[in-house]
Amino acid sequence: SVPFGVDLGNDNTVIACARNRGIDIIVNEVSNRSTPSLVGFGMKNRFIGESAKNQQTSNLKNTVDNLKRILGLNYADPDFETEKKFFSANLVENDAAQISAKVRFLAEQQEFTSTQLTAMYLNKIKDITVKETKGNITDICLSVPVWYTEKQRRAAADACKIAGLNPVRIVNEVTAAAVGYGVFKQNDLPTDEAKKVAFIDIGHSSYQVSIAAVKKGELKILGSAYDKHFGGRDFDLAIANHFAEEFKGKYKIDVRENAKAFYRVLVASEKVKKVLSANTQAPINIESVMNDVDVSSSITREELEEYIQPLLNRINVPIEIALKDAGLSAADIDSIEVIGGCTRVPSLKAKLSEIFGKPLSTTLNQDEAIARGNAFICAMHSPTLRVRPFKFEDFNPYSVSYFWDKEEEDDDHMEVFPRGGLFPSTKIITLFRKGDFEVEARYTNKEQCPPGVEPLIAKWLVKGVVPNEGEQYIATKLKLRNDPSGFYTIESAHTVQEVTVKELVEKEATEEGEEEAEPEYREVKKLVKKDELTLEMTSAALTEDQRNAFFEKENNLVIADKLVADTEDRKNALEEYIYELRGKLEDQYAKFASDAEKERLTGLLSKAEDWLYDDGYDSTKAKYIAKYEELASIGNLIKGRYLADQEEKKQAMRQKQEA
Ligand code: ATP
Ligand code: K
Ligand code: MG
């Protein structure tokens, strides 16, 4: 499998693969280095990525964007209240108390869960990569926001699996960029005292900052923080709201009352925002935005700054939290690396620079750094590829405790992975048990987590516990792990028992010539593994059955979409052939067909053309092929004569030259 890294952005997704001794960005079907992150549903097929973006304005209700904001989120989560305003599709609560989109697809109402929607999108991303690399794409390193909870990480992993991908690692976005920095800048990094780097990513929907200690060959994330609702889309909305107000007075229309009109203002606002990153003023013109009214206006950079002031006023907050976690002050930071599309906004850059009292660095490609880091991490996990060794540890953002039914122990729980610890990390605990038992992992403090997060992370039934005869309890060892993907798990469990073993007593080396002393043994008590225990986990992940059902459904949708695309291709080929043959019949083929043939073929061509606009407008792939072949059987006969004549002329010419 080609190491495959995906930066699933809320706005656009970037793909990287490790190839040719380096990391390449994979371009999509229209040669773009990033692909819009959305899925649309139509009468016949789905639209994913570029094609979804192209139909968005005309199919708002059946187009779902902002995928990563609803992935793994509960419908009742207070965050969803904030999110709703960014969606044009109808979002409903599903059986799992999570979010599904209710769309019109294939002429009926259908629902797809946020995990399915993300899987559809990832499957398209995989398809783009397979086409571009011609390689086998199976293993993926997918990045997610640092604020993703266990539930959302599980949903991200499930989405990969439904798309036929094997998530070798789920990694935090900023961490992936930092790893890329550590690897690609290897030779400029110190070997003794670590360089302190602040990595700041402000994208379409959120803002994340991580403080890292980077050395040659290794990296530690010392602190991470975020603002879940701070990104380009908030800027777009602020601009759009300003224009909506202005148009109300100026044109007596309320674009907010019309979803399509407001969406078009939003799209125009994003363009204006981008123009203002390089210019101090930008025009906006939308034809017939609603009620046949054309609107036009303009905005200055100062005005934009005014509208985004509430955001800019809190830009310091995540930085302060992350610095505090890292035990550092702004002055300790050696370098500030900014990434994400939104960091192109001049006022935002100025503010960041002011906070640190230093100019910003742009060593990293702000759009591609995360994807590149992911591809490198995926390559690290590849059994066949050898990459430069690089060690990185991430910051655990939420304290997690494990709970059990108290028996012999003093406590019934333990905080195992505290906030601020590094992961991956392992801790072994011993419990004294009479038989099978349950363990739960829970977030210790709800306040540390985004609001709305349920405390329970996962639970396990530990099976196979049998005390020794005559004993009430047996020591049970659990290997608890905050794994490389940030999941809180129990990796393995076993019981131990005390056995008495004979151990050789080591003696002073005997002098040469002295008689060999008899080996001496003593009896010692030792703890050895008794039984390996089985762990039955209930986590936020889908059950295998659920996942398999989604996987199958997704495969069927892919097959159906492919049939629609192939049918469309065959139809286009037929249409083109009709025009081509008709033209040639009057031109280069004219003298190679008899009048009777011409009449017959012209008749057939007209008939085929009429059919295409009538019964054949929406026909099957087989019928398009059959029609094509019917025409080609006569067309090829005439073409054959024409080609033979061409060949004869060529030969004649050659003979003439040779003579
Ligand atoms: P997220 O990281 O939040 O999931 P994302 O990764 O898709 O989202 P990015 O690709 O980092 O986001 O950035 C996209 C955002 O950057 C969009 O809001 C876009 O309008 C904005 N953007 C892109 N270019 C510019 C520019 N020149 N000036 C201002 N904003 C820009
Ligand atoms: K992006
Ligand atoms: Mg991003």
Whether 351 has a pLDDT exceeding 80, the answer reads: yes
Find out whether 90 and 101 touch, Cβ atoms under 8 Å. Answer: yes
Pairing status of strand 422-423 against strand 335-339? unpaired
The three-state secondary structure class of 593 is coil
The best mutation among 65, 273, 308, 372 to test binding of ligand 1, ranked by most ligand atoms within 8 Å of the C-beta, falls on 273
Count of beta carbons in the 10 Å neighbourhood of residue 388: 10
Average pLDDT, rounded, for the chain: 96
Structural domain count of the chain: 4
How far, in Å, from the CA of 11 to the mean position of ligand 1? 7
Domain match, 11 and 117 both: yes
Average pLDDT over residues 107-125: 98
Distance CA 483, CA 575 (A): 56
Residue-range definition of the domain harbouring residue 615? 546-658
pLDDT of residue 481: 98
Distance CA 12, CA 34 (A): 6
Find out whether 438 and 397 touch, Cβ atoms under 8 Å. Answer: no
Domain match, 64 and 198 both: yes
Average pLDDT over residues 250-277: 97
Residue ending a domain, among 343, 362, 391, is: 391
For residue 480, tell me if it sits in a domain. Answer: yes
Find out whether 143 and 30 touch, Cβ atoms under 8 Å. Answer: no
| Ligand 1 atom closest to 370 (CA) | 6
Tell me: the pLDDT tens digits for 267-284?
999 999 999 999 999 999
Q: How confident is the model at residue 109 (pLDDT cuts 50, 70, 90)?
A: very high
The domain that holds 285 is classified in CATH as 3.90.640.10
Query: How is 270-324 classified by DSSP, letter by letter?
Result: HHHHHHHHH-SEEEEEEEEEETTEEEEEEEEHHHHHHHTHHHHTTTHHHHHHHHH
How far, in Å, from the CA of 211 to the mean position of ligand 1? 22
For residue 163, tell me if it sits in a domain. Answer: yes
Residues with CB under 6 A from ligand 1: 9-12, 68, 203-206, 231-233, 270, 273-274, 277, 340-342, 344-345, 367
pLDDT of residue 559: 98
The residue nearest atom 29 of ligand 1, judged by CA position, is 274
Domain match, 262 and 204 both: no
Whether 507 has a pLDDT exceeding 80, the answer reads: no
The domain that holds 425 is classified in CATH as 2.60.34.10
How far separated are the first and last CA of the chain, in Å rounded?
Answer: 60
pLDDT of residue 510: 59
Tell me which of 509 and 38 has the higher pLDDT. 38
For residue 478, tell me if it sits in a domain. Answer: yes
Nearest to 602 by CA among 615, 614, 584: 584
Q: How confident is the model at residue 509 (pLDDT cuts 50, 70, 90)?
A: low
How far, in Å, from the CA of 274 to the mean position of ligand 1? 9
CA–centroid distance for 404 within its chain: 35
The residue nearest atom 6 of ligand 1, judged by CA position, is 9
The domain that holds 558 is classified in CATH as 1.20.1270.10
Tell me which of 451 and 515 has the higher pLDDT. 451
For residue 512, tell me if it sits in a domain. Answer: no
**What's the Cα-to-Cα distance from 588 to each of 238, 374, 585, 631, 641, rounded to whole Å?**
62, 56, 7, 17, 11
Whether 220 has a pLDDT exceeding 60, the answer reads: yes
pTM: 0.93
Give the ligand with the smallest distance to the CA of 176: 3
Domain match, 102 and 130 both: yes
Q: Which residues contact 66 (CB under 8 A, 6 or more apart)?
A: 10, 83, 86, 87, 205, 233
Tell me: the pLDDT tens digits for 541-595?
999 999 999 999 999 999 999 999 999 999 999 999 999 999 999 999 999 999 9
Domain match, 383 and 417 both: no
Domain match, 51 and 197 both: yes
For residue 492, tell me if it sits in a domain. Answer: yes
Average pLDDT over residues 644-648: 95
Q: Which two tokens stand for residue 582?
A: 């008709």
Domain match, 13 and 138 both: yes
How far, in Å, from the CA of 37 to the mean position of ligand 2? 9
| Ligand 1 atom closest to 34 (CA) | 10
Whether 513 has a pLDDT exceeding 60, the answer reads: no
The best mutation among 11, 12, 230, 279 to test binding of ligand 1, ranked by most ligand atoms within 8 Å of the C-beta, falls on 11
Q: Which two tokens stand for residue 235?
A: 């800027």
Q: How confident is the model at residue 511 (pLDDT cuts 50, 70, 90)?
A: low
Percent share of the chain, pLDDT over 70: 98
| Residue found by looking up tokens 């996942």 in the block | 547
For residue 200, tell me if it sits in a domain. Answer: yes
Domain match, 419 and 554 both: no
Domain match, 127 and 211 both: yes
Residue ending a domain, among 312, 327, 342, is: 312
Domain match, 550 and 536 both: no
Residue ending a domain, among 343, 360, 391, is: 391
Domain match, 219 and 244 both: no
Average pLDDT over residues 433-443: 97
Whether 515 has a pLDDT exceeding 70, the answer reads: no
ipTM over 0.90: yes
Give strand pairing partners of 425.
482
For residue 436, tell me if it sits in a domain. Answer: yes
Query: How is 464-511 classified by DSSP, letter by letter?
Result: ---PPTT-S-EEEEEEEEE-TTS-EEEEEEEEEEEEEEEEEEP-PPPP
For residue 366, tell me if it sits in a domain. Answer: yes
Find out whether 213 and 325 touch, Cβ atoms under 8 Å. Answer: no
How far, in Å, from the CA of 339 to the mean position of ligand 1? 10
Domain match, 320 and 463 both: no
Find out whether 228 and 202 touch, Cβ atoms under 8 Å. Answer: no
